[in-house]
Structure 1
Amino acid sequence: MRTENAPVVRLEDYRPTDYLIDTVKLDVRLHPTATRVTAELALRPNPKGTPGAALTLDGDELRLVSARLDGVALGAAAYAVTPSSLVLHAPPQRPFTLTLETELDPSANTKLMGLYRSSGIYCTQCEAEGFRRITYFLDRPDVLSVYTTRIEADREEAPLLLGNGNPVERGEVPGTGRHYALWHDPFPKPCYLFALVGGRLDKVSQTYVTGSGRAVEIAIHVEAGKGERATYALDALARSMRWDEKVFGREYDLDVFNVVAVSDFNMGAMENKGLNIFNDKYVLASAEKATDADYANIEAIIAHEYFHNWTGNRITCRDWFQLCLKEGLTVFRDQEFSSDERSRPVKRIADVRTLRAQQFAEDAGPLAHPVRPAQYREINNFYTATVYEKGAEVIRMLKTLIGAEAFRRGMDLYFERCDGTAATVEDFIACFAEASGRDLSQFFTWYEQAGTPTVTASSHYDPAARTYRLDLAQRTPPTPGQAEKRPVVIPVALGLVGESGRELPLKAGNEVPLANGVLTLDGPALSVTFTDVPERPVPSLLRGFSAPVRLEMDLADEDLFVLFRHDRDPFNQWQAAQTVATRVILEATRAARAGQAISVDARLGEALAHFLDSRAEADHAFAAQVLALPTEADMAREIGGDVDPDAVFTGRLAVKRALGAALADRLAALYGRLASRGAYSPDAASAGRRALRHAALDLLAAGDAARGTELAVAQFAAADNMTDRFGALAVLAHLPGAARETALADFAGRFHDDPLVLDKWFALQATIPEAGTLDRVRELTRHPAFSMGNPNRVRSLVGSFAMGNATQFNRADGAGYDFLADVVIALDPKNPQVAARLLTAFRTWRMLEPGRRAKAEAALKRVAGTPGLSPDVSDISGRSLA
């Protein structure tokens, strides 16, 4: 059903369900347009519920065929049914069985929620509230049931039938050409973790032996002919399982673990118990068709969904307000896995880049909300960077505050105490308070309060007394619904670096606790005096980005260069270079906006030249991060308000060109030294080398377009892997001319039959920062390979334009805003989740200069005023305008 005014759901209104469902027996008879689902639900009154209450089951666009209570057909007066609910007026106040039969049309289910059929494959997506599109049910995460599922289908159409849990039985349906498979999951789970798949798929598999000696078949199922492209994902799965045993003591608990890759999927992947369903872009990889970034994403997301087996499945959420309990915690776990598998400093930098680009922007706009929201209208809109990425940062802070050993004890206690339950954040934090013996009540503010805190730091060095005083203060700006903010607990990992470059000892006064180089700022302000400091120090604050905050400290550029050259913390080395670059770009942006000539401080180029000469070869991946300038979005966030995207682009490009010209010879030499040798390998060291080579080419091309074009064209022609080929094409995309168009046409011709590679082609063109790009994007929506029905294709073209092309989406004439509004309005009736996600591109509209701000507001109001909006889009547009 569609409505403009979805009701507000509030955390404070939570109450236990009136009925429990102990077991669910499903019989699903698959058919392209008339699937029949028979659900046998074993119910009983909940002792914690309201005695004698009516039983209200959730539905969504359902058609009821029959209903029976304890085997007897229900009379018309006993219940009321609509497509969105079934109400049993007077349920028995004893255990009873309710059997419901519904009919579905999977082929018509363009929302891709519940059971749908795409490219000949039947699959499900039930998180958050998709199970109610399969049968009437208590669709809430605190109803845990044991599922047995019989799946039946035409054998020719769907020779593979997969369900949750372990396989029990398979057989033929005599005389019909149909067959069935019976699956049983012994672990109680909420309905959002239910899944089934039916179709014709290839399989790659292996036997994994757990630490206790149990043999588990792990398998990945993909479209016919693509099995070889799933081997890396299978290897990543095995490594994830071994890592979770070693680091968290968690062993897998079923006899099989299946992953299915499908092309039409609203999300990245889904952790259904024993049957993960993935967007195929996070499974399929080969040297010719996947980049190093694709391989890294596959590794991380395979791990993330597997780790959910314990943090999400065995322990699930009591209600959707606790979403961060599974998502933030599991993001932390997958970040740690990737850090151990690859480069920890580089992974940390990459994660912070993502956090700042997505979550800081969310915190600063109308869509800001706490890590655990207090209310929502549409839960699908709260699968956000705040819940995921900031949620992970909160877990990381907790580990920093109580230490690694206490953190592991707390995790062990959580697994022991909450296994098999639907838990809350309070349950989780209580385990760490007990394990560490610390009062964590104030730490809980991170879950309740929106906004990015700002930490302001100032200092004074007394050379005669050899003392150094550091003054810290915190403040959090108002956010929607939260005008007043409380101080939060901020772990400030720090060091003192002498002007000579040496690390100075930390001797703090007794009045301020300093544990393992970490100060705890838990009030409005804190002052600490360090003694016996032999020389003027440069403070290295928030090492490893120890808290998700903004840091304001007016260090001189020379002090930042000291940190860049000598800080033993790699993150703060990188941050020092970024801070200097930000200052230089801001100055260039101011000049561009004022119509003045732009001059670029030569000291940044000199510092980078020293880095390239002395340290670039030590860690290629880290060096690539150093060479990457702050983005336009970074600069807009730094400006904070009255942003002119054109001036930001012009200023940043001027700095990039100046650096490329100043470092040209070094960059060319580095580019040559890092040329590929031998067969492609996606390992971390090889990927780091390619990342640095492409960073060098990108910067070199900015300084000398002709030279950059020549090198990029040659690399594109000679490439034997997608990373090198697409890296060259990405450089050419920013160099207007015949060479670019020729390469784009060649790329499309080579890969015309591969949707995932074409997604890269669509996305790259959408981000070209030129006046003609909007027309290019409009034309591409008419390309034979483009389909509004495929979420990947929509995100690659429209999403990349709206969220990755600051100048053209934010055109001064408002045409970019109008284009996105048109797409959202057209897409909403078919796939409201994807439409709502696209609309979040307006989340920073209030930061723009007045002219653009007015045009963005008008486009948002046009969307909000469209009759019959879905709850998803209505919620985003309403909150964006509030």
Structure 2
Amino acid sequence: MQNSEPQKIYLKDYCQPSYWIVKTDLNFDIQDTYVDVSSKLQLRKNHTVNNDRLFLHGGELELLGVALDGQHLDETAYHCDKEGLTLSGLANEHLLEITTRIYPAKNTSLEGLYQSRLMLCTQCEAEGFRNITYYLDRPDVMSEFSVRIEADKQTCPVLLSNGNELERGELEAGRHFVSWHDPHLKPCYLFALVAGRLSYVDDLFTTNSGRDVLLRLFVEDKDLDKCQYALDSLKNAMAWDERVYGREYDLDIYMIVAVDDFNMGAMENKGLNIFNTSCVLAKKETTTDAEFQRVEAVVAHEYFHNWSGNRVTCRDWFQLSLKEGFTVFRDAEFSADMGSRTVKRVEDVSLLRSLQFAEDGGPMAHAVQPDSFIEISNFYTLTIYEKGAEIVRMIYNLLGAEKFRLGSDLYFSRHDGQAVTIEDFVAVMSEVSGRDFTQFMRWYKQAATPELSVSASYDEQQRTYSLNFKQSCRVTAECEYKKPFLIPVDISLLGEAGKLALNVDGLTNTESEDNTKLMLEIDQAEQTIVFNDVCEQPVPSLLRGFSAPVKLSFAYSEDDLLRIMAHEDDGFCRWDATQQFLLQEINAIRATFKAGNKPSLNPRLLELYTSLLADQDQDLSLLALMLTLPNEKYLAELDTQVDVDAIHQARSWLELELAKALQPEFLACYQRLNELAHEPYSADAQGVANRSLKNKALHYLALDGSTLGLSLAEEQFHAASNMTDELAAFRAIVHCMEVDNTTRRERALVSFYEKWKDEALVVNHWFSVQASVAAASTLDDVKALFKHEAFDSLNPNKLRSLVGVFCNANTWCFHAKNGEAYRFLADEILRLNKANPQIASRLLTPLTQWRRYDGVRQALMKEQLERIQAEPSLSKDVFEVVSKTLADK
């Protein structure tokens, strides 16, 4: 472990800087092996802070010179160390000039300015700008940026930065320059620069006010045919934001650059978005339906940031969910409008329950507005993004669409050009609605997932139905006692023939004329709601639309769940009832195996699946989700102590037995939908739905290794005209480890790679499919793939596809009792600790849950965590996660 532990940063210690940077002029002189960066900073004293000292953050920089008001300073006039540059005794205003030299090709952390294949590019969020020049690298310092870039014209014909282009020209020795100006104030984390050999595709968008905005997507030549879908998605997002939020784009050009080496998904840099190639390139031959949807969502997300993140930004990084939670909510609503609203909701809740709830239950649990951190990169989490979005969704549902729009309008107008807080956002919602959000703010301040236990009683004589709600939340580091949350519970009561009218004293549904649903507000530790005039014993449909991010407990019987599936019009609740039915069945199978007996299929489950497969009138994408068993990660989240082998055994047995028992039904479904394969490909909701259900049927047909199922998979594999169908068939073949399938399996692996070896994103699928095989040999296969010609051990996409998938998605293999996978992951974390601390830290996640496993696995995981902690030069990123993990009780 390092000698001096990194220090925590606390929200309570926030104070403004002693100086503001009013204007920032940057000059980048790009040479073959280095870049010289000259900055001119117009400083202005912040008179609210009584301090004449200026501290500028610094990183991996070579300082070449410092000048103040035109006078060169020698080394005695300032202090420079690995943390930054300090000047003292300053007056009210100054022009500070700093020249640094940086080496992009050596920057493997991918923070600041670095090299990715044919280009130089930047990633400055959260604290990457300090690796470019000395600066006040904090989000509350908003400055007007002007940028000049010069480089060799042959190696860097494209020179980009934020804002509008001002000037370009030729220089001596085959060099050229381009200058850019961004008229909108921004913090340095939104700065962007790209220089390299790139081609582009153009499009045009006309705003509501009649302005024409040039849309330009930059890619490598080989990817020019994968641009149009992202541009169409961008135009849809721009039109949607004008229609739904009244937000119009504010520059003359909107640029996107596709980058192969990128730690995250994309970055909303003002006017120049930098995207991971996986989130922007798309065509049917190389891109799955899920990836088309991801491209649409991420393009929209980064565009929506132009207002919720750029024009109004964060005061400090404790407010990160101010921009991310709000924008995730916005992009989720956009995606719901573009496709199936129900399917989008189910997918979002599945992610929340499987991964975010686990985050809330582990040592890295933190509030949506955390009170401290060591390394901000560790807080780009599902809690900040997904749970933060759920909190915004609750505000939206409590206020209704009209008042929420009034609140967002006020938020954008009041705080345009400012760096603000979560409290500022909630305050405008309170102002327009008249609601007191004091208790609601606990969603932002208190960590962990609330648990809501519900019990019911029916009084036939009084015709009343009572629901008793008890809420609790586990102890976490930021506070031992959790005060009650305000939990919105959208509810219906279902009788034998359908929904019942709701009559609760003092409560009415003010947002709808529908008297069969009601939004309850549970704001006490224990609370009873009494429904009047209830003519029969009902079944409660709770958390309709997943109205609050809580763990719900209610003793539903099979009959109750079947009633919800039959009569509830909320698609989420119908899906959730199916999942609850399957969970009960898996738990029963586990108990049977544990007792030493052989389980048998529940005939009511067979009847349910048969009826689902026969229903051609509902959303087929939702049907595919209803036919999908809860994954092992979610099942583990429900265990107090995770029984890896029992979960895998029970789930695998049930899935296989369903496949065998319902083979005729799955075959009929597959054949019916496969007849549509000759129709032109479309990524619209109906096309996605057809392929989704068809490939779910194929999965079941090939599951038992039967000649029929594997022959169908092989036929589809070779005949597919789109990556969705090809990859589904490829996965079905490769995941079947039956001896009789060995030749077919090996043939498919060779064929897929040879066909797609020049498409990096498709090859990532090739890695992921192999990493997710549930077989004892998979770890050895993963290690062997490290030596494959297509694998790059420093590329984040490759690491996520191979190491990330194996350790996070293949839970049974990762948690093999010999602990070899734990050692494998620890080796990778230690290797990446210096090369790319962000990726190293994120890969640690599976080990953070070590206390939830049996004693043998606990000991093996703890051994590797302690080995990581003992590393003498541990990065802040890894140190924070491993130290919290070992200290957690």
Using the TM superposition, give the Cα deviation of residue 740 of structure 1 relative to its aligned residue in structure 2, in angstroms. Answer: 1.9
Which residue pairs with 2:168 in the alignment?
170
Partner of 1:760: 765
Q: Which residue of 1 aligns with 2:515?
A: none
Task: State the Cα deviation string for residues 706-728 of structure 1 (Å, max 9, x = none).
Answer: 33212111111111111100011
| Match of residue 9 from structure 1 | 9
- Asked if structure 2 preserves the Cα contact closer than 8 Å seen for 1:589 and 1:648, the reply is yes
CA contact (8 A) 2:157 2:197 kept: yes
- 1:821 offset after TM fit, Å? 0.2
1:832 counterpart residue number: 837
Contact 1:150 1:180 in 2 (8 A): yes
Q: How far off is 1:530 after superposition? A: 1.2
Letter of the 1:57 counterpart: L
Determine the C-alpha separation between the residues in 2 that align with 1:510 and 1:124.
Answer: 56
Contact 2:400 2:511 in 1 (8 A): no
Residue 146 (1) aligns with residue 159 (2): no
Alpha-carbon separation, structure 1, partners of 2:365 and 2:592:
32
Residue identity matched to 1:632: E
| Residue 717 (structure 2) aligns with | 716
1:556 corresponds to which residue? 557
Question: Pairwise mapping of residues 731-770 of structure 1 onto structure 2 (< 5 A)?
Answer: 731-736=732-737, 737-738=741-742, 739-770=744-775
Q: Which residues of structure 2 form unaligned runs of 5+?
A: 513-517
Query: 1 CA distance for matches of 2:644 and 2:44?
Result: 60
Q: Is the 8 A contact 1:117 1:123 kept in 2?
A: yes
Once the 2 structures are TM-superposed, how far is the Cα of residue 106 of structure 1 from its aligned partner?
0.8
Q: Cα distance, 1:6 vs. partner?
A: 1.6
Say if 1:78 and 1:90, in contact at 8 Å, map to a contact too. Answer: no
Deviation at 1:428, TM superposition (A): 0.5
Q: 1:690 maps to which residue?
A: 691
Given candidates 233, 241, 245, the residue that maps to 1:244 is 241
Q: Deviations over 1:24-66 (max 9, x none)?
A: 00000112422110000000111222232x1111000111101
Alpha-carbon distance in 2 for matches of 1:617, 1:628: 19
**Match of 2:883, SS?**
helix
Alpha-carbon distance in structure 1 between the residues aligned to 2:712 and 2:54: 69
DSSP-derived class of the 1:878 partner = helix
Q: Report if the CA contact (8 A) 1:509-1:528 is conserved.
A: no
| Residues 594 and 26 of structure 1: CA distance in aligned 2, closer, same or farther (over 3 Å) | farther
| 1:133 counterpart (131, 134, 141) | 131
- Structure 1 Cα separation of the partners of residues 640 and 658 of structure 2: 26
Q: Distance in 2 between matches of 1:649 and 1:705?
A: 21
Contact 1:4 1:870 in 2 (8 A): no
SS of 1:700's partner is: helix
Question: Displacement, 1:845?
Answer: 2.0
The C-alpha deviation readout for 1:799-844, integer Å capped at 9, x for no partner, is: 1111011111111011110000001101111111111111112232
Q: Give the superposition deviation at 1:483.
A: 2.1
Q: CA RMSD in A?
A: 1.5
Match of 2:425 among 416, 428, 449: 428
Q: CA deviation at 1:701?
A: 2.6
Separation (CA, whole Å) in 2 of partners of 1:708 and 1:857: 43
Paired-residue identity, %: 46
Q: Does the residue aligned with 2:754 lie in a helix, a strand or coil?
A: helix
Query: Match of 2:652?
Result: 653
**What TM-score, normalized to structure 1?**
0.98
Give the conservation status (yes or no) of the 8 Å contact 2:119–2:197. Answer: yes
Contact 1:25–1:148 (CA<8 Å) still a contact in 2?
yes
Q: Which amino acid aligns with 1:506?
A: L
Partner of residue 799, structure 2: 794
Using the alignment, how far apart are the partners of 2:709 and 2:451 within structure 1? 40
Structure 1 CA distance, aligned partners of 2:375 and 2:716? 47
1:844 matches 2:873: no
Q: Which residue of 2 aligns with 1:814?
A: 819
1:415 maps to which residue?
412
Is 1:775 paired with 2:776?
no
The residue type equivalent to 1:758 in the other structure is V
* CA deviation profile, 1:330-387 (whole Å, cap 9, x unmatched): 0000000000000000000000011111100100111111111100000000000000
Decide whether the 8 Å contact of 2:371 with 2:478 is kept in 1.
no
CA deviation map 1:747-788 (0-9, x unaligned): 111111111111011011111110000000000011111111
Amino acid at match of 2:576: Q
Q: Residue type of the partner of 1:487?
A: P
Distance change in 2, residues 1:814/1:103 (3 Å): same
* Aligned residue identity for 2:21: I
Cα distance change of structure 1 residues 3 and 189 upon mapping to structure 2, 3 Å threshold: farther
Q: Secondary structure at the match of 1:26?
A: strand
Deviations 1:392-418 (A, max 9, x none): 000001111122211111111101111
Per the alignment, residue 571 of structure 1 pairs with: 572
Give a deviation string over 1:506-540, Cα, whole Å, max 9, x none. 11122799875100001112211111222221100
Query: Does the 8 Å CA contact 2:217/2:256 hold for their aligned counterparts?
Result: yes
Task: Tell me if the contact between 1:257 and 1:274 (Cα under 8 Å) persists in the aligned partners.
Answer: yes
Whether contact under 8 Å (2:164, 2:180) holds in the other structure is: yes
Q: Does structure 2 conserve the Cα–Cα contact (< 8 Å) formed by 1:29 and 1:35? A: yes
Task: Provide the rounded CA distance (Å) in 1 between the counterparts of 2:182 and 2:245.
Answer: 24
1:71 corresponds in structure 2 to 70
2:501 equivalent among 505, 520, 535: 505
Q: Secondary structure at the match of 1:759?
A: helix
* Moved segments of 4+, more than 4 Å: 511-516
Q: How does 1:545-694 map to 2 (within 5 A)?
A: 545-613=546-614, 615-641=615-641, 643-675=642-674, 676-694=677-695
Partner of 1:46: 46
Aligned ranges 1:330-349 → 2 under 5 Å: 330-349=327-346
Q: What is the CA–CA distance in structure 2 between the aligned matches of 1:203 and 1:412, rounded to whole Å?
A: 35
CA contact (8 A) 2:705 2:736 kept: no
* 1:267 Cα deviation after fit: 0.7
**Partners of 2:218 and 2:258 within 8 A in 1:** yes
Q: Which runs of 5+ in 1 are unaligned?
A: none
What pairs with 1:260-275 in structure 2 (closer than 5 Å)? 260-275=257-272
Output the CA distance in 1 between the equivalents of 2:204 and 2:102: 37
User: Structure 2 CA distance, aligned partners of 1:866 and 1:186?
Assistant: 46
Contact 1:32–1:107 (CA under 8 A) maintained in structure 2? no
Determine the C-alpha separation between the residues in 2 that align with 1:513 and 1:243. Answer: 28
| Amino acid in structure 1 at the alignment position of 2:352 | L
1:4 touches 1:871 (CA, 8 Å); kept in 2?
A: no
The CA deviation at 1:639 is: 1.6
Distance in 2 (CA, whole Å) between partners of 1:560 and 1:126 is 49
Query: Which aligned pairs between 1:437-516 and structure 2 lie closer than 5 A?
Result: 437-500=434-497, 502-510=498-506
Q: Which amino acid aligns with 2:135?
A: F
User: Distance between the aligned counterparts of 1:651 and 1:514, measured in 2?
Assistant: 46
| Alignment partners' CA distance in 1, 2:528 and 2:509 | 11
TM-score by length of structure 2 reads: 0.97
Tell me by how many angstroms 1:617 deviates: 4.0
Aligned-residue offset at 1:84: 2.8
Secondary structure of 1:257 counterpart? strand
CA contact (8 A) 2:848 2:882 kept: no
Q: How far apart in 1 are the matches of 2:196 and 2:369?
A: 38
TM-aligned CA distance change 1:678 to 1:532, over 3 Å: same
Deviations along 1:160-216, one digit per CA (max 9) or x if unpaired, are 11100000101011x221100010000000000000101111111111110100111
Distance in 2, Cα, partners of 1:497 & 1:535: 9
| 1:285 paired residue number | 282
